[in-house]
Structure 1
Amino acid sequence: MNFNLLKELCSVHAPSGNEIAMKEFLIEYIRSNQHDWRVKPLIIEGDGFQDGFLLVFGNPITAVFAHMDSIGFTVRYGHQLVPIGGPEQKSGYKLRGSDSQGEILCELEVSREEEISYKFSRQIERGTELVFDCNFREDQHFVQSCYLDNRLGVFNALKLAETLENGIIAFSCWEEHGGGSVSVLAKYIYENFKVRQALISDITWITEGVRHGQGVVISMRDRSIPRRGYLNKIINLAKTSGIPFQLEVEAFGGSDGKELQASPYPFDWVFIGAAEDNVHSPDEKVHKEDISSMINMYKFLMENL
């Protein structure tokens, strides 16, 4: 599999609240490549969706949600930083951004009191967003980079789009910092297409129960709990697919699913994604076989749900 697109996605500056560069990248990619797809989708976007948008294929029954944003840091006063979401904080990490004075490549510093700041030759303008500098690596078995969570979920959605005949792909914002975009997208999807079942294209964790190279993860629960009837339907279909998968049970973590569950619309949802090591760091690591099984599982489920 060619991962050049994934490498590009990982390099796009799109921390929570400032997803516009990712939206523009994706819409340009979609318009440039959709002539090779099985079905040309309807692109629905605009001020009513803020920076989120939808791709609608054929007569949709199921929606796939993939969040575009990443974790990062906001410059406060002086050299202080404030986290965006939950980034790993370790002195020496390279951070990148820009302000009115130019491009920035600086270092994260963490004090003994666990206060975070940046090290740079000048003071960076307050409110500037900094993200991990992208160092994308690939070997025989793994890809490794910052922001595989959730650029890999977006990559999966784009690979799905190549053959999708009926369905919706929803690109959302703010997931890493509390959400707020999915409810707007869900309202439009339900009221205009009566779609009320969803898959969450996101990345989960390697744990004592989830291993590299054992297949895509179907999450039975995290901090939120999907409706068991829909979850069982997904698992039973997955068993018939012949595609490797693992089951996950966690007490923590969340996704766009929690916003769907909290919305006033009767959406069912299940989180399905590859698992990574080194979560929320510049060195997130995912097995290539798990990426393949994620893409194949989404194609299978969207044809059979």
Structure 2
Amino acid sequence: MAHFKPDLLEKLISIRGTSGDEGEIKAFLLSYINEHKNTWKHEVTVHTGDDFQDAIVLIFGKPKTAVFAHIDTIGFTVGYNNNLIKIGGPKTIDGMQLVGKDSQGEIETELMIIENDEGQQQLKCVADRTIDRGTNLSFKPNFNCTEEYVQTPYLDNRLGVLNALTLAENLENGAIVFSTYEEHGGGSVGFLGRFLYDNYNVRQALISDITWVTDGIQHNGGVAISMRDKAIPRRSYLNKILAIAKENNIKHQLEVESAGGSDGSMLQNTDLPFDWCFIGAPEDHVHSPQEKVFISDIEAMFSLYQLLMKRMN
């Protein structure tokens, strides 16, 4: 059984990587892969470089299925006069702590919400100087792990990344894709899918990401297998995954939503004949500094991925 590694998760969360600015998290992942790959059970080929922008592709054996885990996060860009512009869809709470770095050094600031007479909101950061235009800010890490749950910013999608790194330890055949830009409209999945399809004939994908607690998806209910969001995966492929989960008594719950998207929907929008399915643990306080996921759901997620990558490759 795959084991949850809170220390590695905390390290992943400490590394900044808003959409379009994933260089630091890419560098950490490459360093981690190079340091640990000799301890993995099977040999890996690492694809990175200019042709991949800040994405990374790992190839094990003869892959049929790829796991996609996006490495970017939500956050804010500093505009004019310390105004803030959202990256993706972060929650905005007056006084929330933000961090970043510009030409003058490290930044630790707070979000300030100003509301005008018409009820329109303006977002600014509290600072005693003007922050460089274009500086990206993200939630200040505040990691809390108990025996029951983990609560911290950026479980979406550092947990998905941790799942992929855990898979790599024992993976014999399969691909792992660390993608970018997911939180702000996508942008790398198309060329990454094309690379896998053209070079390895890979046409199946599992989306290692974190979903939402809703009326139908609850904490401690097991990993969520998404039957649809705004995009709809092919039912025959979904049925194979559901059968494997049921046969092996992996605790899971079925998600059916009308909105939301992921690397899966981006993959579906390409001209590639990929099957895909979003599978992830549910979190509360989505896109906020207090994202919360139960450890039992993390363990179910990791176990199902380990099983699927054995059965579907």
* 1:170-200 deviations in Å (ceiling 9; x for gaps): 0100000000100010000000000100000
| 1:154 paired residue number | 161
Residue 40 of structure 1 deviates from its aligned partner by 2.3
- Which runs of 5 or more residues in structure 1 are unaligned? none
Per the alignment, residue 37 of structure 2 pairs with: 34
Q: Residue 178 of structure 2: which of 171, 178, 182 is its match? A: 171
Q: After the TM superposition, which of the residue ranges 106-115 and 170-179 deviates more from structure 2? A: 106-115
1:284 maps to 291
Verify: 1:126 aligned to 2:133, yes or no: yes
Alignment of 1:1-305 (within 5 A): 1-112=4-115, 113-305=120-312
1:35 is displaced (CA, Å) by 1.5
Alpha-carbon shift at residue 264 of structure 1 (Å): 1.2
What SS does the corresponding residue of 1:30 show, helix, strand or coil? helix
Following the alignment from structure 1 to structure 2, what is the Cα–Cα distance between the partners of residues 176 and 68?
A: 9
Instruction: Summarize deviations over 1:210-268 as a string: whole Å, max 9, x none.
Output: 11111110000001111111111111111112110110001111100011101111000
Per the alignment, in what secondary structure is the counterpart of residue 118 of structure 1?
Answer: strand
- Whole-angstrom CA distance in 2 between matches of 1:131 and 1:33: 28
Residue 2 of structure 1: how far off its partner (Å): 3.1
Aligned-partner Cα distance in 1 for 2:81–2:230: 36
3-state SS of paired residue (1:219)? strand
Q: What is the CA distance between 1:121 and its match in structure 2?
A: 1.5
Shift in Å, 1:53: 1.3
AA matched with 1:285? K
Aligned length, in residue pairs: 305
Instruction: Provide the rounded CA distance (Å) in 2 between the counterparts of 1:224 and 1:36.
Output: 38
Distance 2:84 2:289 in 1: 17
Please tell me the root mean square deviation across aligned C-alpha atoms, in Å: 0.7
Please tell me the residue identity of whatever aligns with 1:192.
Answer: N
Take 1:115 and 1:297, find their aligned partners in 2: how far apart are those partners?
43
**Letter aligned with residue 35 of structure 2:** S
CA distance in 2, matches of 1:73, 1:20: 17
The one-letter code of the counterpart of 1:99 is D
State the shift of 1:167 in Å: 0.1
State the AA in 1 paired with 2:191. Answer: V
Aligned counterparts of 1:130 and 1:260: Cα–Cα separation in 2:
28
CA distance in 1, matches of 2:181, 2:204: 21
1:11 corresponds to which letter in structure 2?
A: S
Q: Partners in 2 of 1:25 and 1:60 — Cα distance?
A: 25
Measured in 2, the distance between the counterparts of 1:2 and 1:18 equals 25
Hey, what's the Cα distance between the residues in 2 that align with 1:43 and 1:11?
24
Alpha-carbon distance in structure 2 between the residues aligned to 1:63 and 1:105: 38
Q: Secondary structure at the match of 1:51?
A: coil
Q: Alignment partner of 1:115: what SS?
A: strand
Shift of 1:304: 0.6
